[in-house]
Structure 1
Amino acid sequence: MTEYTILRVGHQGDGIAHGPIFAPMTLPGETVTGTLTGDTLSDVKIVTPSDDRVSAVCRHFKSCGGCQLQHASEDFVGTWKGDVIRRALAAHDLAPEIRPTLTSPAQSRQRATVAARRTKKGAMVGFHGRASGTVIEVPDCQLIDPRIKAGFAAAHDLAVVGSSRKGVLAVTLTLSSDGLDVSVHGGKPIDGQLRIELASLCDRTGLVRLAWDGETIAMRTPPRHDFGDAQVVVPPGAFLQATAHGAATLQTLVIEAVGEAKRVADLFAGSGTFSFPLAKKSEVHAVEGDKAMVEGLDHGWRMSKGLKPVTSEARDLFRRPLLPDELNRFDAVVLDPPRAGAADQIAELASATVPRIAYVSCNPVTFARDAFQLTQAGYVLDWVQPVDQFRWSSHIELAAAFRRA
């Protein structure tokens, strides 16, 4: 049988041999065999294991698609994630300081979207299988907070009540300060009877809020989230950082990057993850495209005490980025854009004179593109900090600090 030597790990977490040939759950330096179909090996067997190979901590690892790198040591994964960022920047001739990766602990995910499907005997809840649409039950998942895991029972009941036999619900379970907040997509169209059943289920299972395809069906109490010294009620299914550790780490890094700035613009601000910690020392103007999130942010500031002024603006920064004359009113800018990056907003920043920029990114490739444009315009990229909220996955996040030369 043909043997293959794994040369490196790709962006999706698969080992890559010459060809390229992709071999899931393998590591650099390993010799492996398997069945080659197209450019992918299946039924992989390890002939010569790497010293970085470890036993997976979760019994669902081989079947569940939630994790890609449980077979690798924590040191290997942290170094690999830093190297992915390093290579993305090197493609643009950038070589800043890249700090050691900071990783969230196991069983700390405070938000997860599970798949829930009706069956003949009831329902099943879990994650999609590796490279398939099959739902895999994961009662011993090592990623999620136990309180999220407790919500699987509610997801089960939601599938029984509100899904068709052929459909699969996407059930987002989010921890709030008040309990479990649940948002469901892909269910039956809402009608009077289903509304009654869902409201009853919400009360019976102790959910603080239940939303169905964006509509709030029942709310026992507004689900609050702590951002610094403020409490904010976010819209159903709104973006939040994956772990409390990750959120706190990124907040600390953003505060470091803006330094002593007195006025800060927080762009792609969401519900205020960075706005409120910054407002302990700085006046903040928060800009976000989602109007409901802006309303929640504004209400959170009005109900808080001891913070500097936080103003907010609902504005689509992809269609209408802040212009240089608007940006130049601030001592620092914070950006936390989606995976596509912020090319149009970066172009305006490149023409502005803002002294400091803190950039939070979930995509090293688009970050490197934007970083290159800023450095071409005279900014210095001082440091990059990898932050691993998605433990054992190929997902990579980072925070970075820029300053005007």
Structure 2
Amino acid sequence: MSKKPEATVKTVRITRLAHKGDGVAETDAGQVFVPYTLEGELVSASVQGARAELKEIVEPSPDRVAPVCKHYGVCGGCSLQHMDEASYKDFKRQQVIDALSSRGIETPVDDVVVCGKGSRRRAVFAAVLAGHKVLFGYHTAKSNRLVDIEECPVIAPEIMKAVPGLRKLAGVILPRKGELKFTVTTTQSGLDVAIGGLGKTKDKHYLELSQAAVENDFARLTVDGETIIEIRSPLLDMSGTAVPIPAGGFIQAALSAETTMGELLAEGLSGCKRVADLFCGAGTLTFRIAQFANVHAVEGDASSLKALDLGLRRAKGLKKVTTERRDLFRRPIVAKDLDNFGKGYDGVVFDPPRAGAHAQAQELAKSPVKKIVAVSCSPASFARDLRELLDGGYEIKRVVPIDQFLHSPHVEVVALLERSA
């Protein structure tokens, strides 16, 4: 087994930023990636192979700003707090441009739509015992170590306010070894808390779990998929419909991002009468589409479809909505079914997980569907899927990056496409 190279302190010049936001320096030994740096900066770093740890900013960039969180540089979540607004937005937009270019796609890309601070309505924490102390927070970058957080400017204030109570509960139920995951979501009814990793030991903690939920006024507390107590049904407003979300189920990270997506849907699907909403989740976009078109919503997760169906029972003034449980990775809707002898869909929306929707995009490329809205949290898989659609005869009308992952290198992206005449 080869030994890792020893760390050496070097002074290097950052020439560009990589797609994950690390600065890249060109050295005699090859490229070196230095986190928390900006293009043009001269920095001192402890270099070990292709990775480095920042020691000092020798010549700072004029685009550098003071971080807004005390945990910056230790917590693994917000790696871009040192960038001013203009360079930050340019970086996010360039992520999309570069991904498209890698697939030979040259098209205008809109400015980034940025969500505000404190807008993340879900946080995923970890908890672990360190001796007699409970650590509750986020993992450090590229490590299993935990940062015991005291503040977090990106998540909703009501989530941060609940952290002391969650930390106290963790101290009661934590196993001696291993860690627990706490997924906390803001809803119209209060916080929805889902704990994972307790296993068989949850049986002896029912009382403490229930008491903690009541004391902290959680809407619902779930452990490893089992509802311990539901005081109020956790509801999310999806385009005017209150939908009871599944524990830990997919939602858009920020409400303002969901609103922007809804506006783009209305633009991209203008004139459509029958729309397929693929990878629909609990109806994040379904209810918006149903305001102007009939919708067939397709999703592989049973709990998400159940939530959507429950929401439909509460909905008023919508067009017809049908649902189907289907694994679109294994069984994409094929071109002939999208057409249905000329009586099929004139619009399609797809919003898949990070892996993208390659098989479904291949079928869409062979279909006569007139308008498509593609949504993705991964510019790389997004560009790959768009390449299939363009090769199948579609044209890009608009590409919009949406930043609902504030201070991170991640970016959401929406494309509006139409089939060429």
CA RMSD in angstroms, aligned pairs only: 1.4
Note the alpha carbon deviations across 1:18-67, whole angstroms, 9 max, x for none.
Answer: 12100010011111121111111214311211111111111110211110
**Where does the alignment leave 5 or more consecutive residues of structure 2 unmatched?**
1-8
User: How does the TM-score come out when normalised to structure 1?
Assistant: 0.97
Aligned to 2:17: 9
Q: Within 2, Cα distance between the matches of 1:43 and 1:292?
A: 44
Amino acid of the structure 1 residue aligned with 2:402: V
Matched, 1:265 2:280: no
Q: Within 2, Cα distance between the matches of 1:344 and 1:374?
A: 11
Amino acid of the structure 2 residue aligned with 1:162: I
* Correspondence for 1:48 among 54, 59, 81: 59
* Correspondence for 1:205 among 201, 216, 223: 216
3-state SS in 1 of match to 2:414: strand
Amino acid of the structure 1 residue aligned with 2:269: V
Please tell me whether the aligned partners of residues 119 and 165 of structure 1 are also in contact (alpha carbons under 8 angstroms): no
* Correspondence for 2:90 among 58, 71, 79: 79
Aligned to 2:392: 377
Q: Which runs of 4+ in 1 moved over 4 A?
A: 119-122
Matched, 1:89 2:100: yes
Matched, 1:274 2:285: yes
* Correspondence for 1:339 among 354, 358, 377: 354
* Correspondence for 1:30 among 9, 16, 41: 41
Structure 1 vs Structure 2: percent identity of aligned residues? 39
Q: Which moved more, 1:85-94 or 1:358-367?
A: 85-94
* Correspondence for 1:397 among 385, 402, 412: 412
Matched, 1:117 2:128: yes
Please tell me whether the aligned partners of residues 43 and 54 of structure 2 are also in contact (alpha carbons under 8 angstroms): no
Please tell me whether the aligned partners of residues 222 and 233 of structure 1 are also in contact (alpha carbons under 8 angstroms): yes
3-state SS in 2 of match to 1:41: strand
Matched, 1:220 2:231: yes
Q: Within 1, Cα distance between the matches of 2:202 and 2:383?
A: 48
Aligned to 1:61: 72
Task: Quote how far apart the aligned CAs of 1:327 are.
Answer: 1.4
3-state SS in 2 of match to 1:136: strand
Q: Within 1, Cα distance between the matches of 2:100 and 2:190?
A: 41
3-state SS in 2 of match to 1:77: helix
Q: Within 2, Cα distance between the matches of 1:121 and 1:188?
A: 21
Q: Within 2, Cα distance between the matches of 1:190 and 1:293?
A: 27
Q: Which moved more, 1:40-49 or 1:354-363?
A: 40-49
* Correspondence for 2:326 among 311, 315, 325: 315
Q: Within 1, Cα distance between the matches of 2:214 and 2:199?
A: 20
Please tell me whether the aligned partners of residues 246 and 303 of structure 2 are also in contact (alpha carbons under 8 angstroms): yes
Q: Within 2, Cα distance between the matches of 1:216 and 1:192?
A: 12
Q: Within 2, Cα distance between the matches of 1:165 and 1:145?
A: 31
Task: Quote how far apart the aligned CAs of 1:200 are.
Answer: 2.0
Q: Within 1, Cα distance between the matches of 2:392 and 2:142?
A: 42
Aligned to 2:3: none
3-state SS in 2 of match to 1:151: helix
Please tell me whether the aligned partners of residues 36 and 54 of structure 2 are also in contact (alpha carbons under 8 angstroms): no
Q: Within 2, Cα distance between the matches of 1:352 and 1:365?
A: 23
3-state SS in 1 of match to 2:229: strand
Matched, 1:142 2:153: yes
Q: Within 1, Cα distance between the matches of 2:190 and 2:353?
A: 27
Matched, 1:127 2:138: yes
Task: Quote how far apart the aligned CAs of 1:188 are.
Answer: 4.3
Aligned to 2:116: 105
Matched, 1:166 2:177: yes
Task: Quote how far apart the aligned CAs of 1:122 are.
Answer: 5.0
Q: Within 2, Cα distance between the matches of 1:387 and 1:175?
A: 21
Task: Quote how far apart the aligned CAs of 1:286 are.
Answer: 0.4
Aligned to 2:243: 232
Aligned to 1:298: 309
Q: State the aligned residue count.
A: 405
Task: Quote how far apart the aligned CAs of 1:121 are.
Answer: 4.3
Aligned to 1:348: 363
Amino acid of the structure 1 residue aligned with 2:243: V
Please tell me whether the aligned partners of residues 125 and 136 of structure 1 are also in contact (alpha carbons under 8 angstroms): yes
3-state SS in 1 of match to 2:311: helix
Aligned to 1:287: 298
**Where does the alignment leave 5 or more consecutive residues of structure 1 unmatched?**
none
